[in-house]
Amino acid sequence: MHHIQIIEYQNQYRQQIIDMVLHIQQKEFGSTITLDDQPDLSDIPAFCEKWNGKFWLAINAEAQVVGTIALLDIGNRWAALRKMFVREDHRGKTFGVGLALLNGLFAWAIHQGIQEVFLGTTAWFLAAHRFYEKNGFIEIPKDSLPTSFPAMDLDVKFYRKYLDVSAQT
């Protein structure tokens, strides 16, 4: 069993987060996106506070960041899922990092009264597409997104998931 802890953002992990996200974007997927293109990574607390959101980390037993996920409140009981990344050597069912991050996000969103979660992703994150679909996200056209959704220029696929807020205790 692999010990993974899901925690809220802590500034001590800032550089690890940046390094991991940029590595995945640039090295794994050949994107030209830089840190300057992602103001949400430059100051995570300010970005999440602006959007009344949260940013979580998956930390392994060696205190390394192996995954990230964020949720931004975009109004009308809607939220945007952002910055979901899992380090390549921690992906899949063996580790369960992606699912743990996603389930934690859903629990927090439901507690906040969020009814729908939207996300945008690139064309080349094929495993991510399958992961989202397997976890209840339905692909939607871009023009079905709320106008408050903070789409990135690279996003070409969009998804929506309805949350069961009646499950809130």
Is the pTM value of this prediction over 0.85? yes
pLDDT tens digit sequence for 109-141: 999 999 999 999 988 888 899 999 999 999 999
The residues spanned by each domain of the chain are 4-167
Percentage of the chain surpassing pLDDT 90?
78
> What's the pLDDT band for 72 if we cut at 50, 70, 90?
very high
The span from the CA of 117 to the CA of 53, in Å, is 12
Averaged pLDDT score across all residues of the chain: 93
Contact 35, 42 (CB under 8 A): yes
Residue (of 51, 66, 52) closest to 20 by Cα position: 66
Asked if residues 4 and 62 have their Cβ atoms less than 8 Å apart, the reply is no
CATH 3.30.110.70, domain 4-167, yes or no? no
148 exposed, middle or buried (CB, 10 Å; 0-12, 13-18, 19+)?
A: middle
At residue 123, the pLDDT reads 86
